Chain A
Amino acid sequence: MVMAIDELKKATVLDFIKSGKRIDGRGFDEYRKITIKKGAIGVAEGSADVTIGKSRVIAGVKTEIVTPFSDRPNEGTLTFGADFLPMAHETFEPGPPRIESIELARVVDRGIRAAEAIDLKSMFIEEGKVWGVYVDIYVIDHDGNLLDAAAMASTAALQSLELPAYRDGKIIREERSPKALLEVPTYCTFVKIGDKLVLDPLYSEEIVADARITFCVGDDMLYAIQKAGHGAFTKEETLSMLDRSFALRKELLSHIER
């Protein structure tokens, strides 16, 4: 769907970027204000309510007893889903999942899985029974960079995860014990507008962008990359954004671990 007002905004946003500025006054490699509220959903075993600027995402973690995958009989399972709620943006309509929400959930999943952030081996219960961990990402307000917001919400929610007790074949949700993460991966998303690389894009910047790229990193390890959009990146651009993602990690961790 083409929104008339968005079309009108495009020229202004492009003019700003071309002259080395952003419409909200930020530098090209700065994040907006980030807030993270862990445990926002009391009934969920883990949760986080995250805002990056005016974008807002809530992630909730629920656990169930499940049958393990046949190739990993001693490991718990981890499943990610993302819902782009119609309330979040006028272009999000009710109906089957959009490709954007599938991509978002899969990229968040890949980074957390590759980082071995969650100790799935410790989620074995007994032969044929393991914990199934479900992370559901709810996009409730969209002003760009939903991927980083969703990733932050998911890692923060998993960090606050408290696994219920399990006795005599029953889950006792009132009794919970914390489950520490082994690693907290951080994600940084950039878009390319013309020849400029812009961190943490606003919605109005995303709609004029040629390409998008996300890096998921640890202290000195790269865990996942996802490039999207019709634009292209050079090797030098790719490496410079990766370096920036490593450099931004400390700042992002300080929010997630607070």
Chain B
Amino acid sequence: MGTPSEQPLIVGGKRLDGRAMDELRPITITAGVLNRANGSAYLTWGRNKVMAAVYGPKEVFPKHETDPYKAVVRCRYLMAPFSTDDHGRSGPNRRSREISMVIKEAFANVVVAEVYPKTAIEVYIEILESHGSTRVAGLTAAAVALANAGIPMRDLPIGVSIGKIDGQVAVDMQKEEDNFGQADMPLAIKPTTGEIVLLQMDGKMTRSEFEQALDMAYAKVDEIHELQVAALKEYFDRAAVMPQEE
């Protein structure tokens, strides 16, 4: 967790950006935004801007990573060097590799990989502009990109973060809250079963605050899931009237 905040993060019951404790930032999702990728999605979540793309099922490289029984699900989460206040180094680092791993594992839970043995399904998440909770924004976008690629999935997971600011549990940490709050907990949940497929946390939370945080996350699942579904429907409406190019 960041340095203890000097400035309050909650003023008059409202957060820095005017939100209530249980209020998400505005989210927009557009499916099918890239030409070459088999599936894609562009998401804005507050000031976060995320591009997600899916390639596959495709041939596995290196070959020895091939699974004869199912598709290998891969994920690369990256933050663009220009996505933060300070210039970041391009390419993966320890943080991004760990995040890539936990997102990949969340998708490995829902992708019906048995249908495509000996193939790879590759998920690419690029954080173009970063303003807190980018891993769950990236996961939410990539779930749409996977569905947009026609990959069979058991569920369409959503991501959301819960945190603790000025001693109170709040939903959807933006940058300052993440930096100066007392806890941050990114989650991914399967809407149909309520099972947790991604869970990380660091900071300070009591047991009852943790339970409250879980409940706050569950309370937001439908809202985020509906935006994913709407984006996919909108894509199919759009694709149906698109002139077919050869």
The smallest beta-carbon distance between B49 and chain A, in angstroms, is 25
- A interface footprint on B122-141 (CB within 8 Å = 1, 0 otherwise): 00000000000000000000
Known contacts A102-B94, A238-B199; is-contact A228 B204 (Cβ 8 Å): no
Contact, CB under 8 Å: B201 / A239: no
Q: Which of A222, A232, A242 contacts B193 (CB 8 A)?
A: A232
A-side contacts of B202, CB under 8 Å: 110-111, 113-114, 223-225
Contact, CB under 8 Å: B203 / A223: yes
Contact, CB under 8 Å: A235 / B1: no
B-side contacts of A99, CB under 8 Å: 97-98, 101
Contact, CB under 8 Å: A235 / B203: no
A-side contacts of B35, CB under 8 Å: none
A-side contacts of B207, CB under 8 Å: 220, 222, 239, 242-243, 246
Surface stretch bound by A, among B25-33, B50-58, B102-110: B102-110
Q: What total of chain B residues lie within 8 Å of the partner, measured CB to CB?
A: 34
Q: Which of B97, B102, B209, B214 contacts A238 (CB 8 A)?
A: B214
Contact, CB under 8 Å: B196 / A228: no
Q: What total of chain A residues lie within 8 Å of the partner, measured CB to CB?
A: 33
CA distance A34 to B136 in the complex (A): 37
A-side contacts of B200, CB under 8 Å: 224-227
CA distance A222 to B101 in the complex (A): 23
Interface residues of A (CB under 8 A from B): 71-72, 99, 102-103, 105-106, 110-111, 113-114, 213, 220-235, 238-239, 242-243, 246
Interface residues of B (CB under 8 A from A): 1, 3, 94-95, 97-98, 101-102, 105, 108-109, 183, 185, 190, 193-207, 209-211, 214, 218
